[in-house]
Amino acid sequence: MTTTGTQTTVGAFVLGGTALAVAAALLFGKFHLFTTVKVASVVFQDSIKGLSIGSPVTFRGVAVGAVTNIAIEFEPKTHIAYIPVTIQLDSERVKVSRDGKVDNSNLAELVARGLRAELNTQSFVTGSSEIDLDFDPAVPAQFHPDITSLTEIPTKQSTIQRVTETLSQLPLRELVDNATATLNSLRGLSKKLDDGLPPLVQSVKATSDHAGQLIGTAQTTLRDVQAHLDETLDAISRLAQSGDRELAARGDDLRRALAAAVQTANRASATLDGIKSLTSERGADRANLDSALRDIAAAAAALRGFASDVEHNPQLLLTGRKP
């Protein structure tokens, strides 16, 4: 093989390798020669620590673009520093269907519908950050036309920023003072407990020992009382048995006494019936008794009249009354 042929072959291999490298870079690299892209701006006022060129831009976790530029703009009138971040969005990743047709919607229209951007931590290990996009119409849109001429996506506070702001508004100094006062109170209480617990423990121990002695005495007393109760119950049982025997022995006497009592009660009832017949207004005995009483009353009246006449004229006893 000649030298010219060798050089030609080497040149062909070099050109082929270069073409393959360019094709691989175009196909797999971050070039958008065959993809429609949109460029927008996100303006931050707070720190964007962890965000750098090439950081991803996501929509609910789906990568839709990347950061292409980061700058700082200082506003002399308000003395506020703004950080405009330029992002590049891949239109092929986000498609809006209208009437059954796929249409890449205008970015300004999406912003008007509530598209907002927030800065979130991508990795706590590396400290890198990313820009997350989502719809949140409740967040008012704040634009900065003096800072950027690109289509601006308004920002909203991330969860970490909200937590940080909430923590910054807490009265930390007052909380620290209150915590210090509480700790001092706890130390004083602990000291008082250290000083007061030993005597209290001794008192509780003495009380426990005394209670144990009382319990022992009570147990002894209960045993004695139980023995006396057993004796008393035996005596009551013997007395009940004796009473049963006496009742059995005196059963005839009781029956005779009951019979006599019944007869006496019958006689008393008959007597009461007689008294009742005498005292009854419609009874014959009552009528006879009333007639006898009237006769006796008339005789008594006649005797009183005769006695009065004799008192005035004693001769009546000898001569009697003249007819």
- Print pLDDT tens along the chain (323 aa): 456 666 667 666 666 677 666 555 544 444 444 445 689 999 998 888 889 999 999 998 889 999 999 999 887 787 888 999 999 988 777 665 555 444 445 788 888 889 999 998 888 888 889 999 999 999 898 898 888 889 899 998 877 666 666 766 677 778 788 888 888 888 888 777 777 777 877 877 888 788 888 888 888 888 888 888 888 888 888 887 877 777 676 667 777 777 887 888 787 777 777 666 666 666 666 677 677 777 787 777 777 777 777 677 766 656 665 55
User: Where is the domain boundary, 144, 159, 174?
Assistant: 159
90 within some domain = yes
pLDDT on residue 211:
80
Structure tokens at 124: 């706590």
> Amino acid letter at 82?
Y
Query: Can you spell out the DSSP letters for 219-247?
Result: HHHHHHHHHHHHHHHHHHHHHHHHHHHHH
Separation CA 85–CA 101 (nearest Å)? 32
The pTM score is 0.43
Q: What is the CA radius of gyration of the chain?
A: 66
Give residues with Cβ within 8 angstroms of 315, minimum separation 6: none
pLDDT on residue 130:
93
59 within some domain = yes
86 within some domain = yes
User: Where is the domain boundary, 159, 186, 203?
Assistant: 159
Work out how many domains the chain is built from and give that number. 2
293 within some domain = yes
Separation CA 55–CA 48 (nearest Å)? 11
SS3 content of the chain, % helix, strand, coil (to 5): 55, 20, 25
Separation CA 109–CA 138 (nearest Å)? 16
305 within some domain = yes
Residue 110 dihedral angles phi and psi, to the nearest 5°: -65, -40
User: Where is the domain boundary, 105, 132, 159?
Assistant: 159
pLDDT on residue 74:
86
Separation CA 266–CA 258 (nearest Å)? 12
76 within some domain = yes
Separation CA 81–CA 111 (nearest Å)? 24
Residue with tokens 């609910």: 60
41 within some domain = yes
Q: Please, what is the Cα angle at 65 between 83 and 60, to 5 degrees?
A: 95
73 within some domain = yes
Quickly count: other Cβ atoms within 10 Å of residue 131's Cβ. 26
The conformational region for residue 27 under phi > 0 = left, psi -120 to 50 = alpha, else beta, is alpha
The conformational region for residue 114 under phi > 0 = left, psi -120 to 50 = alpha, else beta, is left
Which H or E run contains 110? helix 107-112
Angle between helices 251-279 and 172-249 (to 10 degrees): 90
Residue 84 dihedral angles phi and psi, to the nearest 5°: -80, 130
Give residues with Cβ within 8 angstroms of 58, minimum separation 6: 64, 130, 131, 132, 133
pLDDT on residue 34:
41
Separation CA 14–CA 21 (nearest Å)? 11
Structure tokens at 105: 């919607």
Residue 20 Cα distances to 17, 99, 279, angstroms: 5, 42, 155
- Domain span at residue 288 reads 284-312
Q: How far is CA 80 from the centre of its chain?
A: 51
